[in-house]
Amino acid sequence: MAETYQAPTSGFSDEGIESSTLGNGLLVVTDHVPWVESVTLGIHIGAGSRDDPDKKAGLAHFLEHALFKGTKHRDYIEIAGGVERNGGYLDAYTTKEQTCIYLCCLGRFTEPSLDLLADLVCNPLFPEEELEKEKEVVLEEISSVNDTPEELVFEDFDRYLFGKHPLGRPILGTEESVGNFSGSDLGAFMTGLYQPENMFLTATGNIRHGDLMKLAERCFSTLVPGNGKARQRNPFQTERHRPFNRSIKKRIHQAQIVLGTAIARNDHSFYSLMVLNTLLGNGMSSLLNLELREKLALAYSTYSSVAFFDELTVMNVYAGTDGNKTSQALDVLGAVLKSRELFAPQEEELLVAKSKLLGSLFMGTEKMTRRMSHLATDLSYFGRHVPLAEKTAAIEAVSVDDISAAARMLLQEAPLSTLVYKPSRQ
Which residues participate in catalysis according to the annotation?
A: 64
The C-alpha atoms of residue 250 and residue 247 are separated, in whole angstroms, by 10
Q: Where are the alpha helices (DSSP H) in 265-346?
A: 270-281, 287-288, 326-336, 340-343
Which among 170, 141, 146, 149 has a CA at the least distance from the CA of 158?
170
SS3 311: coil
Long-range contacts of 80-85 (CB under 8 A, 24+ apart): 82/112, 82/116, 83/113, 83/116
The C-alpha atoms of residue 265 and residue 94 are separated, in whole angstroms, by 22
Are the C-beta atoms of 285 and 123 separated by less than 8 Å?
A: no
Which among 141, 145, 47 has a CA at the least distance from the CA of 94?
47
Are the C-beta atoms of 331 and 296 separated by less than 8 Å?
A: no
The C-alpha atoms of residue 73 and residue 84 are separated, in whole angstroms, by 17
Which among 55, 69, 51, 96 has a CA at the least distance from the CA of 178?
55
- Residues sharing a CB contact under 8 Å with residue 375, sequence separation 6 or more, in sequence order: 17, 29, 31, 202, 204, 385
Long-range contacts of 386-395 (CB under 8 A, 24+ apart): 387/14, 388/12, 388/13, 388/14, 388/361, 388/362, 391/271, 391/361, 392/7, 392/358, 392/361, 394/270, 394/271, 395/271, 395/274, 395/275, 395/354, 395/357, 395/358, 395/361
CB atoms within 10 A of CB 144: 12
Return the beta strands (E) in 56-131 as ranges: 89-94, 99-106
List strands edge to edge, sheet with 417-423.
245-250, 417-423, 254-264, 312-322, 302-308
